[in-house]
Amino acid sequence: MKIAMVASEAAPFVKTGGLGDVMQALPAELSKIKGNEIALFLPYYKKIKQDSTIEVESLGSFYMELSWRESYVGIFRLKTRRKKLQVYFIDNEYYFGARSTIYGDFDDGERFAYFSKAVMAALYFLDFKPDILHCHDWQAAMSIIYCRALYGSWCPDTKTVFTIHNVEYQGWADSTFFENTLGLPKEYQGYLTFDGAINMMKGAIEVADIVTTVSKTYAEELRYPYYAHRLDGVLRGAWLWGITNGIDTTVYDPATDPALKTNYSAKEMTGKWDNKLALRQELGLRTDTDAPILALVSRLAGHKGIDLLCYIANRLMEREVQLVIVGTGEKQYEYALSALARQHPGRVAVRLAFDPGLASRVYAGADMYLMPSKSEPCGLSQIIAMHYGTVPVVASTGGLRDTVPPYNWDTEEGRGFTFQSYNADDFLGAIDRAVGLYYNDRDRWNRLAKHDMEVDFSWRQPAAEYMQLYTELRQK
Ligand code: GLC
């Protein structure tokens, strides 16, 4: 199958969050399947241009209309390519090459509309007629609409898939954007219009052959206003499918991770305890205690549930535990957590940093991983934590619910500790159950951690589910 993948980020080239991880692993996994040919499209950001380790070759350039604008489109291809997986970069100095921003510019709507249209023009230029056009999040949403509106006679059999990684960001613009920037035939205005404005995610939801999201539970939740950020009505009318993400188990592997003090595996977990000691030493936590280390590595944002943690912090510190927090984000949380660390030297360590090496050492050295998110489309860090033998304590929502079934003391089934409603006392209750098992039955605790390490979180299964979906679509 010929599959074109379109996204605004993909590791190792550019990554700001979980989307970047998915776009690294999913195309690679699909390219291993016999008969598949994958073309991944990304903007040629300044950061990528300047990275001398990323070698590219130019395939050509042309001019493209974006409403009244004549815009340059350069096409570069990654040189160290594998036959089955080609990575293409869309080059435009004004939109991507001359600025450092990935997201957050005043003209993001225009930049990514340009990118989405340029991808279709590039496919045509390369004569790569995809069986499946798979676009991720609002920044790539418009490719689906340009595909239908302008390339229908060139690729009439192409099926389109739109994946929602986070419904909070939808690509809103005012109503003049339709004529002034998008330059689409009039009949597409209705798909894109929402509450008198333009909403690019809504357009893709309506026009795509199928909409998917990154866990089964989130697919259910998106039908309700509490989660859907106003798109619940539109999503209730869509063919919406959930496929839970995996992790790249070659990148995240405690047996080979170079950031760790000692590598270890489910078969031989003793190395994990070396990492626990090393983590305490690195962060200035007391070493003369048997306390469990509770950890959280996250953007410090409201919807990640940091307010719940702040609310219970003092009561939590009445327990015999240590707490490690790594991340940056909203100032009120940075202040509150730093103050907590000052009040409890040797017991609480807070690092206001985005530091992948430290993150790895925390996943390896901690006993419990906290993730009290208010909503979570999939979540990757709870999966990485389990893969490193760290037991998650999570809110039972979205992908957290699908990846962390609750532990059952009698049968020893389940993978972690969960709480149902978004409530700080329930969160503390779940922590208490975890801490209770840790202190009262260390054998059971160790078996749970080992069991979590043994779960297959690779992309094999999710990639097979995407293939099944693509195949069904093509038969329709
Ligand atoms: C977004 C979501 C996160 C998900 C990731 C990859 O970042 O917030 O839950 O894991 O996309 O799909």
The pLDDT, as a whole number, for residue 94 is 97
Per-residue confidence at 82, pLDDT binned at 50, 70, 90? confident
Ligand 1 center from residue 63 Cα (angstroms): 34
Q: Which 3 state secondary structure label does DSSP give 310?
A: helix
Atom of ligand 1 minimally distant from the CA of 398: 9
Q: Looking at per-residue confidence, does 82 or 252 come out higher?
A: 252
pLDDT tens by residue, 45-78: 999 999 999 999 999 999 999 999 999 999 999 9
CA separation for the pair 149, 280 (Å, rounded): 58
Query: Using an 8 Å Cβ cutoff, are 114 and 65 in contact?
Result: no
Regarding the beta carbon of 378 and ligand 1, being less than 6 Å apart is answered: yes
Regarding the beta carbon of 397 and ligand 1, being less than 6 Å apart is answered: no
Write out the two tokens for 213.
């999201």
CA separation for the pair 399, 378 (Å, rounded): 4
* Largest CA-CA distance found in the chain, in angstroms, rounded: 71
Which residues have a Cβ under 8 Å from the Cβ of 252 and sit 6 or more positions away?
384, 387, 388
Q: Which 3 state secondary structure label does DSSP give 34?
A: coil
Regarding the beta carbon of 18 and ligand 1, being less than 6 Å apart is answered: yes
Residue ID of nearest Cα to ligand 1 atom 12: 165
**Res 419 pLDDT > 90:** yes
Residues of the chain with CATH 3.40.50.2000: 2-246+460-475, 270-454
Per-residue confidence at 258, pLDDT binned at 50, 70, 90? very high
pLDDT tens by residue, 177-200: 999 999 999 999 999 999 999 999
Atom of ligand 1 minimally distant from the CA of 245: 12
Per-residue confidence at 363, pLDDT binned at 50, 70, 90? very high
pLDDT tens by residue, 312-351: 999 999 999 999 999 999 999 999 999 999 999 999 999 9
Query: Using an 8 Å Cβ cutoff, are 377 and 218 in contact?
Result: yes
The pLDDT, as a whole number, for residue 181 is 97
Taking CA atoms, 343 is separated from 314, 317, 346, 425, 431, in Å, by: 10, 10, 10, 22, 21
Q: Which of 129, 62, 53 is nearest to 90 (CA)?
A: 62
Task: Classify residue 56 by its DSSP letter.
Answer: E
Q: Which 3 state secondary structure label does DSSP give 14?
A: strand
Q: What is the pTM of this model?
A: 0.95
**Res 123 pLDDT > 80:** yes
Query: Which of 245, 402, 403 has most ligand 1 atoms within 8 Å of its beta carbon, as the pocket-test mutant?
Result: 245
Helix or strand holding residue 54 (H, E): none
Atom of ligand 1 minimally distant from the CA of 21: 6
Q: Which of 416, 417, 420 is nearest to 451 (CA)?
A: 416
SS3 letters for 65-108?
A: EECCEEEEEEEEEECCCECCEEEEEEECHHHHHCCCCCCCCCCH
CA separation for the pair 388, 272 (Å, rounded): 8
**Res 83 pLDDT > 90:** no
Strands 172-173 and 322-326, sheet pairing: unpaired
Third-level CATH fold of 2-246+460-475? Rossmann fold (3.40.50)
Averaged over 245-255, what is the pLDDT?
96
Ligand 1 center from residue 428 Cα (angstroms): 25
Regarding the beta carbon of 382 and ligand 1, being less than 6 Å apart is answered: no
Q: Which of 76, 72, 39, 42 is nearest to 59 (CA)?
A: 76
According to the CATH classification, is domain 270-454 in 3.30.70.20?
A: no
Atom of ligand 1 minimally distant from the CA of 399: 9
Averaged over 274-278, what is the pLDDT?
98
Atom of ligand 1 minimally distant from the CA of 214: 12
Averaged over 13-27, what is the pLDDT?
95
Look over the chain and give the mean of its residue pLDDT values, rounded to a whole number: 97
